[in-house]
Structure 1
Amino acid sequence: MMAWGKIDDAQFQEFADRAKGKIESESLKQSILKSTRRVRTFGMREVKSLTPVDSGHLRRVWHFDEPSIVGLTIVMTIYNNADYASYVESGHRQTPGRYVPAIGKKLKASWVPGNHMLMSTLFEIDAQMPNLLTPEFNKAMEELFR
């Protein structure tokens, strides 16, 4: 084989060692998690504002688990523990003509459409993700490349 010459990669090795140290120190990971908390705050505010209010219970029981990093994926879970949350979200059937004492009326429609507050929030988060993640992510990258 022919030798094409020597390459001095000392600067690259120095950068690689610095980057490895910052990644292993978890500062990059913490910066990214801080950025994902902004997504969580936005998501909670959005889903609660879209949730219909009767007694306020459905709006109060929204939960958003702490973001975590699993491999190369950031995992965030949003959920509602109310028994009837899925019916409000997706809609439900009912029997027309049945009298419901709680509302003091007879039911008229056979299908009640859902409000889709969670689905709408997920679409909004997806659309806003670059704006929500970019500032903290840019700071983390600047720190990594110093």
Structure 2
Amino acid sequence: MLSFEEMIKEAQKAIEQVNNIIVEEMETNATECVGETQARTPVKTGNLRRSMTHDEVQKNGDTFKVNIGSALEYSEAVEDGHKQKVGQYVPAIKKRLVKPFIQGKHMIRDSVQLQQPKMIEDIKKRIEEEV
């Protein structure tokens, strides 16, 4: 029979093991999600697609999170859409703008929504197998 202190140590060991599994699975799934995001990202020069990445998994209390996206200044406009001034001439495309709003591509949002259920299942499966 385990003493109370030994039970506490075993419980802490299990918690640490679960936390490690969560971090590992989130890292793996974030990498897969970046690949999916890159596949969904529209391409003109390829810079936006190549810039997609993820941060390290962060733990704050009982919450884990990982950010996926791009640091390029225009990535948010491609993701969420943007306003533009109708009639303005843009030398880069050699045209005048005709639409007041360009719809976003939502490549990050859609990729995360696809990956989240898989990530949750992967975490559950590993915890059941290893803990």
Q: Answer whether TM exceeds 0.5 for this pair.
A: yes
Q: Tell me the equivalent position of 1:50.
A: 40
Summarize the alignment of residues 10-21 of structure 1 with structure 2, pairs less than 5 Å apart: 10=1, 16=7, 19-20=10-11
Q: Tell me the equivalent position of 2:92.
A: 102
Letter in 2 for 1:119: R
Letter in 2 for 1:22: K
Q: By how many angstroms is 1:89 displaced?
A: 0.9
Using a 3 Å threshold, how does the CA distance of structure 1 residues 130 and 12 change in structure 2: closer, same or farther? Answer: farther
Superposition TM-score, scaled by structure 2 size: 0.80
95-104 vs 84-93, which moves further: 95-104
Task: Assess if the C-alpha contact under 8 Å between 1:66 and 1:76 holds in 2.
Answer: yes
Using a 3 Å threshold, how does the CA distance of structure 1 residues 130 and 23 change in structure 2: closer, same or farther? Answer: closer
> Which of the residues 14, 27, 32 maps onto 1:23?
14
> Which of the residues 48, 59, 75 maps onto 1:69?
59
1:71-122 per-residue CA deviation (whole Å, 9 max, x = no partner) reads: 2111212231111111111111122233322112222211111111121122
Task: Assess if the C-alpha contact under 8 Å between 2:21 and 2:123 holds in 1.
Answer: no
124-133 vs 55-64, which moves further: 124-133
Task: Assess if the C-alpha contact under 8 Å between 1:94 and 1:109 holds in 2.
Answer: yes
Letter in 2 for 1:82: L
Secondary structure of the corresponding residue to residue 79 of structure 2 = helix
Q: Tell me the equivalent position of 1:119.
A: 109
Q: Distance in 2 between matches of 1:108 and 1:32?
A: 48
Task: Assess if the C-alpha contact under 8 Å between 2:83 and 2:100 holds in 1.
Answer: yes
Q: Distance in 2 between matches of 1:23 and 1:131?
A: 19
Q: Distance in 2 between matches of 1:21 and 1:129?
A: 24
